[in-house]
Chain A
Amino acid sequence: MAVWFLPLLIVGTTILLSLPVGFYLAWIVDGRYRAPGWLRWLERRLDTGVQNWKQYALSLLLFNTLMFAFGFIVLAAQSSAPLNPDGKGMLAPTTIFNTVSSFLTNTNLQHYSGEVHLSYWSQIAFVVWNMFVSAAVGFCVLAAMTRGLRGDEHMGNFYLDMWRVVVYVFLPTSFFGGVILMAAGVPMTFDKAIEAFTLEPGAMGKDDKGDPKRQLIARGPVAAVLPIKHFGTNGGGFFGANSAHPYENPNAWTNYFECVSILIFPFSLVVMFGRLLGQMRQAAVIYGVMLSLFVTMIVWAVHFDTQQPNPALKGLPVDQGEMGNLEGKELRFGTSAGATFSAVTTAVTCGSVNCMHDSLNPLAGLTPLTGMWLNCVFGGKGVGLVNLLVYLIVGVFLAGLMVGRTPEYLGKKVEAREMKLAMLALLIHPILILGPTGLFAALSWGTEATSNPGPHGFSQILYEFSSASANNGSGFEGLSDTWGFNDTKPEPYHTRAWDIATGLVMLLGRFIPIVAPLALAGSLAAKKRTPFTSGTLRTDTLTFGFVLLGTILLVGALLFMPAAVLGPVAEHLGPIPF
């Protein structure tokens, strides 16, 4: 009972909220909100006029280039910038490249550990800023694509869209979320880490002089990072342990709040899509398909992780009955919270974690992997729905072939050019995951970085590239890809390879699936609408929902099944205990 209450509560709340929020988003994106005068003055500074898909894509790429340059400068300046009470040094140059690519692409893969390597300057000027704007970029792409699909003559204006999403959506919700989280115990301070005498003197051990050691507790402006980390499905934690850290997630209520705040915009965007099109049934089919996949992911994870013991302890006198696998889990969130969060965070490519995915039971580890492979179960801010629309175009095409009709979507013919773009957007994802995984698994770059033996080591490599390509950012964090420039331990020779490889995968995995669908929508927009007849293949029916589900599962299963078998499935079947 307690096991299923929490996931039900999270999903139920989100579904209820997604309708009003979706309508609000449509109202904002359509520009029907009339802001106060000074905000409208700023809007006019940004409005460069209506754009076609090429101009829109160009503006997007220009702004992302600027983001890259700005982010690089901010991070590189860390050691000489203000707001650095703990005196953090510079990150390694390859780590800066990786981190800038990571936050620019809304991935938030972290090859550093927040409280160890970043100053408050970097947390605010780099992390927070990137979280706001990179989340808005995906949102804008979806808005533009929808305008193309509904037959607008232009796709809107990129800068204006960015402004509306950041200022009228993310800022107010994050401010509200920040206050709630502070009230629940998330710190918001610019003071340095505090040294605590422990209650039992000497429990931390003794230092060289024989005096009791103190406990050094890192803190900082956490409440500014947390809300937008989730509302923007960013996922990059203030602390290394992310939302498992008591300062990022102090109790069960904040955990519930954080789960809903991860899901709310990806759910609402589907409603917004239907509202903008003026065809809610189209959106309802998509919503239903996504929801059924999402529920399956949660049930799978909870069943194999919370309801099963950790197989490693078989035969030892340990009572795992009530709570399932507790390795890497926190207690205060509730029994099934870790497994549920692992499904939530990977379905919508957030990448925040409240338990260590590396220590999930082997089969439960398939849930986060599948979420990232499909990358369209609600998916990241905007881009998830864009991915689903690509699957949908493929589904329309397949169904059209099967019944012998010209495939069309929303009255526009889907032809060779659209299919080429759809396949490009679709295939880049598996190529970017499986290619580098194979390469690193064969080289000492990969094999020496894994911290677990056998199939689980392979899963660690596979997870890292899946996370990078899906722009997720979570990890099987035992992988040794983190090294600080000023760390006392020597640099493992493979960290640079990981920095550069995942950095490139994140950039390609972000911009190709953004530009190709924009081109696709542009190409559809330019076509004449064919009249709706009794012979039209309807895309707003239950039947088509199944076609869509089948397309996603077939394509996803065919592409990733071998890798899944080599990793988590082999681990599950393998000898545990030994």
Chain B
Amino acid sequence: MNAHIRANLWLLGVTVLLCCVLYPLSLWAIGQSVFPHRATGSLVVEDGKTIGSTSIAQPFVGDEYFWPRPSAVSYNASGSGGSNYGASNPKLRARVAQTLGPIVKYAQSNRLVGKDIERWFQRDRFQGKPNIVAQWAEKYPFAAQDWVKADPLNGDYVRDWQTAHTEEVEMWREKNPEITDPKSDDLAVPFFDSFSRTFPGRWPGTVEDKAGRRIVPAMEDPAIQANFFEMWLQEHPDVKLEQVPADFVMASGSGLDPHITLKNAEYQLDRVADAWSKKTGGKPQDVRKTIAMLLQEKSTSPLGGWAGVELVNVLEVNRALRDREMFFRLREQGR
């Protein structure tokens, strides 16, 4: 037995020394001296400020930038992960439809469908029945709950409703005895039901003016375009819509995928070129052409094209765009 104990301890001691001290230290020494940029995370530093990493996706919201893929972790790189939605999970389809609503165009006219969704929404009828918002909340209870949780303002609005509508809340509680202490998001469905009957064809939209941020029943709101796109599509099965590249709406596995497909970038090109020509006063066709060339120049494909389609790194392309701002301007002045 003593021999066993001695051998065990020797094995433990020596492997810890080799695997946990010598091995990582030698890798660290090589990394820091031979590949210092990559070994610290491929960071992009401008004027002493770290603005991100070319390996890690970061969000872009302005029209003048290309947008990355959706992220299940909101681009917070202190964590990582995918949506983990299976195909049969209604949340996957709902999320995609919400992304599509405000950006989808008709195939022929190149016009956004969003305004048509709003006009249809204002009529307050879905499949022949009134109270479209109530029907929506019934159909997508998780999306209704997400709305309540998305903004403290929304939660407060529901709480105010809760105190003003004790009867409706009481009726809901009788039907759902298992939830003893309902929070505001539990009450999302009865709230939207009540809202829909009080304000038919309206959505609780957010406005910001001198009186501060508050919620008003709105006829037009990006949230209407997002949330009611799928219901609108069901009633308009024959419309021809432009196909959106899949990676524009499908979330990546890490939530930090730094690339989009070249196709996706070209799909976004109109919006980006428009924004830059407005911003710089450059001629629209020229700006568009310059950006299209930039995309071609920056595109790469996996294993030299043997394994996949052409991609662009969103941060790199957007940096190049910003660096060419002066270029867009100068061309115009030189003309």
CB-CB nearest in chain A for B78: A216
In the complex, B205 has a CB within 8 A of chain A = no
In the complex, A493 has a CB within 8 A of chain B = no
With A199-B322, A329-B252, A334-B303 known as contacts, the answer to whether A358 contacts B84 (CB < 8 A) is yes
Q: Which residues of B contact A190 (CB under 8 A)?
A: 28
- The stretch among B3-11, B168-176, B215-223, B279-287 that forms the contact with chain A is B3-11
Nearest-Cβ distance from residue A367 to partner chain B, whole angstroms: 15
With A256-B303, A319-B243 known as contacts, the answer to whether A221 contacts B42 (CB < 8 A) is no
CA distance A45 to B14 in the complex (A): 11
With A189-B32, A329-B253 known as contacts, the answer to whether A125 contacts B60 (CB < 8 A) is no
In the complex, B162 has a CB within 8 A of chain A = no
Query: Which residue, B16, B81, B253, has most C-beta atoms of chain A within 10 A?
Result: B253
With A198-B59, A245-B256, A452-B89 known as contacts, the answer to whether A218 contacts B104 (CB < 8 A) is no
Nearest-Cβ distance from residue A49 to partner chain B, whole angstroms: 8
Interface size grouping (class) on chain B: 35 or more
Q: Which residues of B contact A576 (CB under 8 A)?
A: 87-88
- The stretch among A17-25, A141-149, A161-169 that forms the contact with chain B is A161-169
Contact B11 A217 (CB under 8 A): no
CA distance A332 to B233 in the complex (A): 33
With A200-B62, A245-B254 known as contacts, the answer to whether A187 contacts B39 (CB < 8 A) is yes
In the complex, A434 has a CB within 8 A of chain B = no
In the complex, A63 has a CB within 8 A of chain B = yes
Q: Which residues of B contact A245 (CB under 8 A)?
A: 80, 254, 256
CA distance A519 to B283 in the complex (A): 81
With A59-B4, A312-B93, A335-B309 known as contacts, the answer to whether A182 contacts B86 (CB < 8 A) is no
Contact B307 A327 (CB under 8 A): no
CB-CB nearest in chain B for A336: B307
CA distance A159 to B250 in the complex (A): 50
Contact B31 A223 (CB under 8 A): yes
Q: Which residues of A contact B19 (CB under 8 A)?
A: 128-129, 132-133, 166, 171, 228
Contact of A316 among B81, B233, B319 (CB under 8 A): B233
Q: Which residues of B contact A320 (CB under 8 A)?
A: 246
In the complex, B35 has a CB within 8 A of chain A = yes
Contact B40 A196 (CB under 8 A): no
In the complex, B206 has a CB within 8 A of chain A = no
CA distance A42 to B4 in the complex (A): 15
The proximity string for B residues 52-76 relative to A, scoring 1 for CB distances below 8 Å and 0 otherwise, is 1101111111100100010000011
The proximity string for B residues 1-44 relative to A, scoring 1 for CB distances below 8 Å and 0 otherwise, is 00110111011101110111001101110111011001111110
In the complex, B182 has a CB within 8 A of chain A = no
In the complex, A111 has a CB within 8 A of chain B = no
In the complex, B249 has a CB within 8 A of chain A = yes
Contact of A456 among B23, B50, B89 (CB under 8 A): B89
The proximity string for A residues 369-390 relative to B, scoring 1 for CB distances below 8 Å and 0 otherwise, is 0000000000000000000000
Total A-B contacts with CB atoms under 8 angstroms apart: 395
Contact of A196 among B27, B38, B53, B241 (CB under 8 A): B53
In the complex, A333 has a CB within 8 A of chain B = yes
Nearest-Cβ distance from residue B236 to partner chain A, whole angstroms: 12
Q: Which residues of B contact A217 (CB under 8 A)?
A: 41, 52-53, 56, 77-78
Contact B11 A317 (CB under 8 A): no
Contact A2 B307 (CB under 8 A): yes
In the complex, A175 has a CB within 8 A of chain B = yes
CB-CB nearest in chain B for A578: B90
Q: Which residues of B contact A252 (CB under 8 A)?
A: 302-303, 307-308
In the complex, A16 has a CB within 8 A of chain B = no
Q: Which residues of B contact A406 (CB under 8 A)?
A: none
Nearest-Cβ distance from residue B172 to partner chain A, whole angstroms: 22
Contact of B50 among A171, A194, A256 (CB under 8 A): A194
With A329-B252, A333-B308 known as contacts, the answer to whether A46 contacts B7 (CB < 8 A) is yes
Which residues of B does A touch, CB under 8 Å?
3-4, 6-8, 10-12, 14-16, 18-20, 23-24, 26-28, 30-32, 34-35, 38-43, 49-53, 55-62, 65, 69, 75-90, 92-93, 96-97, 100, 104, 230, 233, 241-247, 249-261, 263, 302-303, 305-309, 311, 315, 318-319, 322
